[in-house]
Amino acid sequence: MSEENRQRQQIGRYYDEMNVGDIYEHRPGRTITETDNIHFSLLTLNNHPMHCDASYGRASEFGNNLVNSGLTLAMVLGMTVGDVSGKAIANLGWNEIKLTAPVFPGDTIYAETKVLSKRESKSRPTQGIVVTQTTGIKEDGTVFLTFERSSLIPKKGHAVDD
């Protein structure tokens, strides 16, 4: 293979490539296992029995353990990196995190992100601020999570890996 055919896989997008109204469908999805849920809950010192006690979960109104919402947020956020924040200099904040439906071990989740707004940085001429809304969706179409995020994104030619 000649050097002319060499291509480097890209992660994330430049500020210039993001447009208000764009929607990115993040793939692949992820099936959350009971082990994922228990490990995350114990790692984060969340010992609520809804996450790790099957008998307690069966007796609850849900009839099953719930996946720790911190885990679902982390997984959905992670799904967005390849499209939204892979080139980001910084995440500037999250707003309006809403948990709208339960997630159970065995559920497969997906995510999509819509670009809500963007503006050039006033103090950093080679960067811009992009506001996105991400939605977590279960395989049956149920929306279980939404959040907005502001990210500082470099313009083309100004990323670390350029």
Asked if the structure places residue 160 within a domain, the reply is no
Look at residue 5 and tell me if it is in a domain.
no
* Residue 58 pLDDT: 95
Q: Give the pLDDT confidence of 30-70 residue by residue, as tens digits.
A: 999 999 999 999 999 999 999 999 999 999 999 999 999 99
Does the structure show a pLDDT above 70 at 2? Answer: no
Q: Is residue 91 part of a domain?
A: yes
Q: How far apart are CA 20 and CA 133, in angstroms?
A: 11
Range 134-146 burial, b when 16+ CB lie within 10 A, else e? bbbbbeeeeebbb
Residue the block writes with tokens 């811009």 = 128
> Is the separation of the CB atoms in 117 and 150 below 8 Å?
no
* Segment holding 5, helix H or strand E: none
User: d(Cα 45, Cα 42) in Å, to the nearest integer?
Assistant: 5
Assigned domain for 53 exists: yes
Please choose, from the candidates 37, 105, 110, the residue with its C-alpha nearest in 3D space to the C-alpha of residue 76.
Answer: 110
Residue 1 in this model has a pLDDT that exceeds 60: no
Average pLDDT over the chain, rounded to an integer = 93
Residue found under tokens 């719930």: 66
Counted domains in the chain: 1
Q: Do the domain assignments include residue 73? A: yes
* Residue 145 phi, psi dihedral angles, 5° rounding: -160, 140
Output 127 or 9, whichever has higher pLDDT. 127
The reported pTM is: 0.89
Q: Which residues pair with 31 in a beta bridge?
A: 108
Least confident of 8-12, 89-93, 122-126, 135-139: 8-12
Residue 7, in any domain of the structure: no
Q: Is residue 143 included in any domain, yes or no?
A: yes
Is the torsion defined by CA of 80, 81, 87, 92 positive or negative? positive
Residue 161: inside a domain? no
* CATH (domain of 117): 3.10.129.10
Rounded CA-CA distance 143/16 in Å is 29
Give the residue numbers spanning the domain of 123: 12-154
